[in-house]
Structure 1
Amino acid sequence: MVKIFVVTHKEAPLLQNDLFIPMQVGTNPSISDNILKDNTLDNIASKNPNFCELTATYWIWKNYTEAEYVGICHYRRYFNFYNPSYNLKPSKQKNNRRGI
């Protein structure tokens, strides 16, 4: 199972479905009652002014066990998996400059 955490520090439209999980970081008042916050459980939320979204990464590492793979879209930016104009096929280029 894969989960992608969408990390934000201010109010914004939140997409929440089976893939995306919204998460709030920073010291702003809660932007929603239904959002994870990085200042719960095992956390380093007090370091957010210097570490930014890494406080969310730490929280996920220490506290989230419901997915085999996790990822982050930071500060309200979502991945677009559905736009056909993006070529998501594997590249035919060589792995390095020597062609090995």
Structure 2
Amino acid sequence: MVAAHKKFPMPDKKGYLPVLVGAAKNYKPGIEYQRDDEGKNISAKNPNYNELTAVYWAWKNLKNVDAVGLVHYRRLFFDSKPYKLNNAIDIE
């Protein structure tokens, strides 16, 4: 999962699922990420638990997965550098 509280260029790589954390308060039209306020969730507690609301959402709602990982929207892991995100600015 890629935890984000706002719209941001996301990687176009298999295995990354953008999750809007604190979606109960942070959702704006045009943000098409998985929301952490669907299903069983603690989205409203995001100001106290930060990205952990995404972890809780995954624990309670993702089925048939062997493992779940979490990265922050500005701290992504890639195979090599320099790297580029689809339709994004260069990050170095």
Q: TM-score, normalised by structure 1?
A: 0.69
CA deviations on 1:27-52 (whole Å, 9 max, x unpaired) are 2223523x101011000011100000
- What secondary structure, in the 3-state scheme, does the structure 2 residue paired with 1:69 have? coil
Does residue 20 (structure 1) correspond to residue 13 (structure 2)? The answer is no
For 2:34 and 2:64, the matched residues in 1 are separated by: 14
Gaps of 5+ in 1: 84-100
Which consecutive aligned stretches of 4+ in structure 1 deviate over 4 angstroms post-superposition?
none
Q: TM-score, normalised by structure 2?
A: 0.74
- What secondary structure, in the 3-state scheme, does the structure 1 residue paired with 2:41 have? coil
- What secondary structure, in the 3-state scheme, does the structure 2 residue paired with 1:50 have? helix
- What secondary structure, in the 3-state scheme, does the structure 1 residue paired with 2:14 have? coil
For 2:76 and 2:64, the matched residues in 1 are separated by: 21
Match of 1:41 among 39, 60, 64: 39
Which protein has the bigger helix share?
2
Gaps of 5+ in 2: 82-92
CA RMSD in angstroms comes to 1.6
Match of 1:51 among 42, 46, 49: 49
Query: Alpha carbons of 1:37 and 1:16: their partners in 2 closer, same or farther (altered >3 Å)?
Result: farther
| 1:14 Cα offset (Å) | 1.4
